[in-house]
Amino acid sequence: QWDGVRNYAARNNMKAMQIGDLGFFYHSNEGLNVVGIAEVCALAHPDTTSDDPRWECVDIRAVRDVPNPPTLEQVKANPKLADMALVRLGR
């Protein structure tokens, strides 16, 4: 379960996720690396770590690790990934 998110943009992205969607598992606080691939396995639902009903979470499962995890700079340098939110939005 991906819970505890308290960022409106991230919450809105989670609401748009569909079962089967794949995404990068990105360490945003430690290392700034893509460390794996994750799959959404349940739609957005209330986040039980908050008493505020505005916050939701999604259930994800690990698909696989990424060998030699690329840094954010390496991801941004790849033209095939230029349209990803991770690249387009400031971090």
> Residue 30 maps to which CATH number?
3.10.590.10
| Short-list 36, 26, 38, 39, CA closest to 73 | 26
> Is residue 74 situated within a structural domain?
yes
What total of structural domains would you count in the chain?
A: 1
> Is residue 1 situated within a structural domain?
no
> Is residue 2 situated within a structural domain?
no
Domain enclosing residue 19, as ranges:
8-88
Residue-wise pLDDT for 24-74, tens only, equals 999 888 888 999 999 999 999 999 999 999 999 999 999 999 999 999 999
Q: Cα–chain-centroid distance for residue 65?
A: 14
Please give the model's pTM, rounded to 2 decimal places: 0.83
